[in-house]
Amino acid sequence: MAKRKRLTVPAFGGFAAPPPPEAKPALGPGLAPAPISRVTGEAAATAALREVAEELTSARTEGRLVLRIDLDRIEEGWLVRDRLGIDAEELDSLMTSLAAHGQRSPIEVAEMGEGRFGLISGWRRVTALRRLRDRTGEDRFASVLAILRRPDTAAEAYVAMVEENEIRLGLSYFERARIAAKAVEAGVFPTEKLALQKLYAAASRAKRSKIGSFLGIFHALGGALAFPSALPERLGLMLARALEDDPDLAGRLRAELAAVAPATAEAEQALIAAAVTEAPGGEVPEPPAEPPAPPADPKPAKPRPPSDAAEIRPGLFLKGAKPGEVVLYGPAVDAGFRDRLRDWLAGQV
């Protein structure tokens, strides 16, 4: 019987699947053609990051960005401070507020280079935070919120410092006169008259005149007074006139203050009042009359809901009422605050 011949299909025949092609990298190991969508996405992300970085830089430069700066990098003596000191009770109240609610208002600083910042305004807040840090050791009190300012001149920096204190709390007449004199000594302003005009541009002419009168007291008795910031306006103006009328009064007062060394502001003022009375044309300053007690309100005052007002500083609340009306109230709204606010508003354009 004839042997049947077996047929074999070729490996590359029309019906057999060819072996899989060998995978070879087209652009070399680790490289692959990037899809157009990936290129577009990366370009958009880069542009967005660049825009954010530029906006942050611009906001920081223009003072629109609040920075957190270590207290040890703040130079408090960059400007001659306008405040001679701070009342212990006032400082305790500020520390209590900072510990309970944190820092609500940033300070103002100028960049000095090498990571240092000169303090323009906010000396009370920096002082309170330093005390809290030293007392508690907590990290949350080791830094301060700040806005970067770029004053073109030293004069602008001094004006910013004075305006901040005038609006927030106010200075005594002696402190106002002192900072004007110190600014002239530092070469910031050529004359004391110009210093008064620039530093207290928002004040009325009458108020600037009173500050100018206290300049005479600063020059004559600045180092001899133990409680200069407590010197009241009326007694201070009388003392200024007496110093002008009697050139020898300053020497006598210095000697008497050194000999007596008054322990309180009241004792120092009594000594000054006696000296002014003895001076030619002097008179005893009458104590201001106490305002009459307000009539009793038969209806108990309704407590204000806390949700409709904002505490803009310790003891001072701002409430928006009817259109065209703004209400300020709180323990900090006293006669002195109203006078300072009225003077500031009168100087606005």
Full set of structural domains in the chain with CATH = 57-153 (3.90.1530.10), 171-287 (1.10.10), 307-346 (no CATH)
For 263-304, the DSSP string reads: SSHHHHHHHHHHHHHHSTT--PPPPPPPPPPPPP-SSPPPPP
What average pLDDT score do residues 164-190 get?
82
Q: Which residue has the higher pLDDT, 146 or 8?
A: 146
Q: Report, in angstroms and rounded to the nearest whole number, the Rg of the chain calculated over CA atoms.
A: 36
What average pLDDT score do residues 98-113 get?
89
Return the residue matching tokens 């002082």: 127
pLDDT digits (tens, 9 = 90+) for 83-93: 667 778 888 88
CA nearest neighbour of 260 among 227, 213, 214, 235: 227
| Bridge partners (DSSP) listed for residue 326 | 320
Residue 21 amino acid letter: P
Q: Which residue has the higher pLDDT, 306 or 345?
A: 345
What average pLDDT score do residues 259-287 get?
79
Furthest CA-CA distance within the chain: 162
pLDDT digits (tens, 9 = 90+) for 21-48: 555 555 555 555 556 766 666 766 776 7
Decide if pLDDT at 195 tops 80: yes
CB 167 within 8 A of CB 202: no
DSSP-H helix ranges across the chain:
36-61, 88-101, 123-136, 154-168, 173-185, 192-199, 205-221, 233-245, 249-260, 265-278, 335-346
Which run of H or of E encompasses 145?
strand 143-149
DSSP assignment, residue 132? H
Decide if pLDDT at 74 tops 50: yes
DSSP assignment, residue 137? -
pLDDT digits (tens, 9 = 90+) for 119-145: 988 888 999 999 999 999 999 999 999
* pLDDT of the residue at 323: 65
Alpha-carbon gap, residue 85 to 168, rounded angstroms: 16
Give 285's pLDDT tier (boundaries 50, 70, 90): very low
CA nearest neighbour of 275 among 233, 245, 239: 239
* Helix/strand/coil for 158: helix
Alpha-carbon gap, residue 160 to 218, rounded angstroms: 22
Decide if pLDDT at 281 tops 50: yes
Decide if pLDDT at 286 tops 70: no
Least confident of 103-107, 111-115, 246-250, 290-294: 290-294
